[in-house]
């Protein structure tokens, strides 16, 4: 590379300007492994002592073993605070994950082709056999505010059976 050849005769800044090579790329040094600082190996307590993470995991197992409690990492963090640990929930999550102590989240899976209600066609034979409702959030110019509009429609005749507005709601 030209910069390596002439770096003793000129500054790196002028060589990178001359070659068009970005200076930040010249100084970049790739790292191997995880990004950032390595995770801590000890945890402080309120009395100033440092406890190894292995001891913290043993205390977590003791907390989880009491009375068949199924705690997540956040509630376990509260319990560790009661034991006078200075620890945040991200570290508790990492320690519980490494020790396979996290609760298993169940995924709801669907089987087969899903049928959505929006594609279903309702064939009404008589008036008032099927009614549909629709809620809209509309702006009222005269009052300079928004309101909810509820409409009840008859599917057979497409007649609006009822329409109602309500404004000034607070969530």
Residue 171: pLDDT over 50: no
Alpha helices in 11-52 (DSSP H): 12-19, 23-27
Mean pLDDT (whole number) for 54-58: 95
Give the model confidence (pLDDT) of 112-126 as tens digits.
676 666 656 788 899
Task: Please enumerate in sequence order all residues whose Cβ is within 8 A of that of 119, keeping only pairs 6 or more positions apart, or say none.
Answer: none
Span 134-162, average pLDDT: 88
Confidence at residue 170, expressed as pLDDT on a 0 to 100 scale: 41
Q: How much of the chain exceeds pLDDT 90, in percent?
A: 29
Count CB atoms within 10 A of the CB of residue 44: 14
Beta bridge partners of 160: 153
pLDDT in tens, 73-110: 899 999 999 999 999 999 999 999 999 888 776 566 66
- Do the Cβ atoms of 7 and 15 come closer than 8 Å? yes
On average, the pLDDT of the chain sits at 84
Question: What's the pLDDT at 116?
Answer: 65
The angle that helices 53-65 and 73-82 make with each other, rounded to 10 degrees, is 110
Could you give the C-alpha distances from 151 to 9, 125, 127, 137, 160, in angstroms and in order? 82, 21, 16, 12, 7
- Residues 10, 129: Cα–Cα separation, whole Å: 89
Q: What is the pLDDT of residue 114?
A: 66
Whether the Cβ atoms of residue 90 and residue 51 lie closer than 8 Å to each other: no
Angle of CA points 153, 154, 155, to nearest 5°: 105
With contact defined as beta carbons under 8 Å apart, do 132 and 162 qualify?
Answer: no
């Amino acid at each position: 590379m030209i910069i390596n050849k002439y770096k003793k005769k000129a500054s790196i800044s002028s060589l990178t300007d001359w070659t068009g090579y970005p200076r930040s790329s010249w100084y970049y040094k790739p790292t191997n492994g995880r990004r950032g600082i390595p995770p801590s190996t000890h945890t402080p307590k309120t009395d100033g002592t440092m406890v190894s993470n292995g001891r913290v995991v043993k205390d977590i197992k003791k907390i989880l073993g009491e009375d068949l409690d199924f705690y997540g990492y956040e509630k376990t963090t509260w319990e560790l605070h009661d034991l006078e640990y200075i620890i945040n929930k991200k570290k508790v999550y990492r320690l519980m994950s490494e020790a396979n102590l996290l609760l298993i989240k169940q995924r709801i899976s669907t089987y087969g082709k899903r049928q959505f209600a929006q594609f279903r066609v309702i064939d009404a034979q008589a008036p008032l056999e099927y009614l549909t409702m629709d809620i809209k959030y509309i702006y009222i110019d005269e009052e300079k505010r928004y309101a909810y509009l509820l409409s009840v429609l008859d599917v057979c005749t497409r007649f609006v059976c009822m329409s109602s507005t309500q404004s000034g709601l607070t969530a």
